[in-house]
Amino acid sequence: MKKDSVKKTFVSGKALKAIIIGSIVGSAVSVFAIILASTIIVKLGMVPYEVIVPIVIAAIVIGAFIGGYITARINKTSGMAMGAVCATVMFVLCLGTGTASGGVLGITVLLRLLLMIVSGAVGGILGVNKRRRR
């Protein structure tokens, strides 16, 4: 078997590096967005619980989008898949943190997973299709 005929695996060194960096940046963006939203909520005063949950979901979706975008920009191929994998890694991090702090698993967890994967995949598509400046 020739060395040239060896197929690339999906998780090459470059892809793994891109997923790790994208997940870290996406998680940091999510945390920053949640901190910003909580600061605004504290300044406003009494805010109903029904408003807080969508704000948190929006923050993690934005983070997943940014993470997928960065992952695809680093890897330069397979934007949708790379963005979805990055968002899944971010979801696992959020799930682990949430359950470790006493969170309850419910149907909203599946909704968050779906929204994060779709958002990460869209970010990945846009990241791959972004043209470089000359």
| Helix 79-100 and helix 107-129, axial crossing angle in degrees, nearest 10 | 150
pLDDT of residue 81: 93
What average pLDDT values come out for the chain (134 residues) when binned by 10 residues?
Answer: 49 86 95 92 83 89 96 90 94 84 78 94 92 67
Residue 20 CB partners (closer than 8 Å, separation 6+):
none
| Helix 107-129 and helix 49-75, axial crossing angle in degrees, nearest 10 | 40
pLDDT of residue 10: 55
* Nearest alpha-carbon partner for 86 in 101, 96, 75: 75
Q: Domain-by-domain residue ranges, the chain?
A: 18-129
The SS3 assignment for 47 reads coil
H-run or E-run covering 20: helix 13-44
